[in-house]
Amino acid sequence: MKRFLSLLLVLVMVFSFAGCAKTDEPTTEGTTSAAGEETTAAPQEELEWAQGITDTEIIVANSAATSGAFAPVGVPFNAGIEAYFKMINEAGGIQGRDIVFTHVDDEFDPVKGKAALSSFVEDEKVFAIVGHFGTPVVAATIDDLKEYGIPAVYFATGIGQLYNENATSDGRNIFPVQPIYKTEGKIMIARAAGDFEAKKVGIVYTNDDAGKDLLWGAQEMAKELNIELVEQQVSAGATDVSSAITTIKDADVDFVVVAAIQATFPTIVKELAAQNVNKDVITTYVNVSPIIAQGVVNEIAGKFDVYGNGWVSFEGERAKALEEFQKYAVGYETNVYAMTGWIAAHFFVEGLQRVDGVITWDNYMDALESAPIMNPFGGEINYAGGLRAGTQEMNLSKINPENKDGEWLPVADLASIDSLIGK
């Protein structure tokens, strides 16, 4: 089980548009007039079933890279989606309809991704997009999705364009699940205050979208908690960050946030150690991998701890969910990307299962917002009131300084911002 946790922590990575498949029959009710004569009320308004729904099927789609350099991610991701739908269909489907999943290989190309989305919505008329894949494709199509209004559930990216605290009209159809950097930045500061009692936090962030989004979240939460932030920007991929770290050191902070992903992260941590800024560090879930730990473990040993966020767990009931996944995801039983595909399909289906009667885009989105949804391998996500923040509960691990091969040890269970700051 610990192996699965370690693997998963590595994971980096729209107004109704058209038509109906069928309509409800109009309903009439007998009433009595003042003279005692029975009359017939006017028919109630007919509801049109959303596009992509027939008498026997609910058709959904995505485009994902299933060839080329990103195929090792896209292929198992889609396999996880298909495995979950197979489980649902074998149990009778949704209102007696099978979920049919169609997909296109976009090769991680935003131009091909835009073309695929247009075809799905306008030509094939699918009901929803499930598992929208990859930062370049999502960034290129997010406005198209909003304009179409088609429900889009799960995005395999954490870009800030997905974040919205009040998606009651524009963007209401966007339902992110995977961590969004803006939300994670908030969680980092909540951790700093709640778990480490920090009052003054240094944040070193890269000048790319990931770094700036993490910074935005940190700034928002710091204002709320009256935490002083000492901010230093470095270039993504920088090899010399000494000046920024000197500023952090001179500010005498209580705690350090490293808002940088992958290649830049070890450079920052090593410089913190070199300048003896011996304050504990927290970073994004993207950096929680054995390779990252191995790259800094010698420098931090005996000086400070490095913590990282995570968004999955296999404790309690989640262990049963893992067994269910392994039963259906044949050939992908330990694949982290297949597990995220399973999560994507779970969130999509949860909305369908909540709809009683005619399925339209509007009442499907109402259903997703009606109550929090539990990630089968994680915490709750709440879409109520138009909140689109992605993962809202994260756990914590830290680098084991005694394991030179690179290991992250679980430290704290999944927790929300409110629970971290005692609300």
Among positive and negative, which fits the CA dihedral 115, 118, 124, 128?
positive
182-310+394-420 topology per CATH: Rossmann fold (3.40.50)
Q: Six-digit token pair at 168?
A: 């009651």
| DSSP for residue 287 | G
Return the half-sphere exposure (C-beta side, CA atoms, 13 A cut-off) of residue 123. Answer: 6
Going by the DSSP 8-state scheme, the letter that residue 43 receives in this structure is: P
Question: Other CB atoms closer than 10 Å to residue 115's CB: what's the count?
Answer: 15
Q: What per-residue confidence (pLDDT) applies to 222?
A: 98
Q: Annotate 372-417 with DSSP letters as a single string.
A: -EE-TTS-EE--GGG-B-S--EEEEEEE-TT-TT--EEEEEEEEEH
User: Kind and range of the H or E element at 310?
Assistant: strand 306-310
Tell me where in the chain the CATH 3.40.50.2300 domain(s) lie.
1-25+45-179+311-391, 182-310+394-420
Burial class (CB in 10 A: 0-12, 13-18, 19+), 402: exposed
Phi-psi region of 355 (alpha: psi -120 to 50; beta: other; left: phi over 0): beta
Q: Tally the residues of the chain.
A: 423
> Please, are residues 167 and 386 in contact by the beta-carbon 8 Å criterion?
yes
Residue 421 carries which side chain, given as an amino acid letter?
Answer: I
Q: What's the CATH code, domain 1-25+45-179+311-391?
A: 3.40.50.2300
Instruction: Quick: pLDDT tens for 229-258.
Output: 999 999 999 999 999 999 999 999 999 999
Q: What is the pTM of this model?
A: 0.88
Helix (H, G, I), strand (E, B) or coil at 312: coil
390: closest CA among 173, 162, 146?
A: 162
**DSSP, res 157:** S
Where helices occur in 251-335 by DSSP H, the ranges are 264-274, 290-300, 317-328
CB 202 within 8 A of CB 268: no
Q: How far apart are CA 38 and CA 26, in angstroms?
A: 19
Per-residue model confidence as pLDDT tens for the chain (423 residues): 444 444 444 443 322 222 333 334 333 344 343 334 444 444 445 679 999 999 999 999 999 999 999 999 999 999 999 999 999 999 999 999 999 999 999 999 999 999 999 999 999 999 999 999 999 999 999 999 999 999 999 999 999 999 999 998 889 999 999 999 999 999 999 999 999 999 999 999 999 999 999 999 999 999 999 999 999 999 999 999 999 999 999 999 999 999 999 889 999 999 999 999 999 999 999 999 999 999 999 999 999 999 999 999 888 888 999 999 999 999 999 999 999 999 999 999 999 999 999 999 999 999 999 999 999 999 999 999 999 999 999 999 999 999 999 999 999 999 999 999 998
Q: Is 116 helix (H, G, I), strand (E, B) or coil?
A: helix
d(CA 270, CA 234): 14
Identify whether the C-beta of residue 246 lies closer than 8 Å to the C-beta of residue 272: no
Please report which helix (H) or strand (E) contains residue 94, including its range: none
